[in-house]
Structures are given as structure tokens and as C-alpha cells.
Amino acid sequence: MKKQQPEASQTNTQKVRKQNAAAAQNQSKQQAEFASETDAQTVKKQNQQSEQKKQQNQQ
């Protein structure tokens, strides 16, 4: 009696690839959105002010 081969995976690779591509595209959109909402100059200024306050509090 021959042993039966296990069934091939039921995963639709084309569908998975399409979903992965869509997810990657969505993620890059979100990253670009976040970057456009973030003003680097303002963040640097706030960080600098925070450091100055820390130093004043330590003295």
C-alpha cells in the first residue's frame, strides 16, 4: 500500500503577494504622512530648550 502524499498547501501565493504589496505601499504612505506632519526645526528647538531646562535644574 502506497503512502499518500500530503496535500499541497492551500495558500494562494498570488493573493498573498498582492496583499503584501498593498501593505507595504500603505506603510510607506503612513511614514510619508508622519514625516510631512513633523517639523524638524520645531523638534530641534524644543529639544534644545528641554536640555537647557534640565541643566538649569541640575545647578
pLDDT attached to residue 38 = 74
Question: Any idea which residue has 530648550 for its cell?
Answer: 49
pLDDT attached to residue 49 = 93
Stretch 44-54: mean pLDDT: 92
Distance CA 21, CA 18 (A): 5
Q: Is the pTM of this model over 0.75?
A: no
CA distances from 9 to 5, 20, 27, 32 (A): 12, 18, 28, 37
Distance CA 36, CA 43 (A): 13
pLDDT at 6 over 60: no
Stretch 12-40: mean pLDDT: 82
The DSSP secondary-structure symbol of 38 reads -
Domain extent listing, the chain: 14-58
Stretch 15-21: mean pLDDT: 91
